Amino acid sequence: MKMQHPRAVPAAARAGGMESCSLKSTTPPRAAVELRTPTGQRCGVVLGDVAHFTRSRARHFHRTRGGWYFHRAVLLAAQQAGARTVVVVERESGDRYIAALQALLGGDQLIDERFGEQVGLPLRRWRREPAHAHQLALALEGV
């Protein structure tokens, strides 16, 4: 019987580059929880206390407000699954944007423009980790 390391990332979570997230979960390991939009489309995953999303800036960035926005129901499901942090990986650049889930849900950035209730934050409220910095950290991890 092959033993699996308790912090091993489930195969479903490795899709979309989420396995490279360097954020360390502060909760005990548990199964990944898939997040779905109100229409049933898979949009992210919760691993420990981190909700991971891979987004295309062209499709998911709110240009008028200048930030990342999400279906409110998706973030509430992430919170119920134990998430406290949100990580967005921008598909085009590989840059990562990190924010507290409570900042997203507790802010005054609720909008409803054709897609149902959405909440988000302007870019200045996200911590940005450039892709090259993340790649360097991964390369030095084994040294």
Query: pLDDT tens digit string along 29-85?
Result: 667 999 998 889 999 999 999 999 998 787 767 777 678 888 899 999 999 999 999
Whether the predicted pLDDT of 133 surpasses 80: no
Domain extent listing, the chain: 29-141
Residues 6+ apart with CB under 8 A from 73: 37, 38, 116, 117
In tens, the pLDDT along 111-121 reads 666 767 788 88
Strand partners, 33: 46
Determine the Cα–Cα distance for residues 11 and 8; give it in Å rounded to an integer: 9
pTM of the shown model = 0.69
Looking at residue 7, its pLDDT comes to 38
Q: How far is CA 53 from the centre of its chain?
A: 4
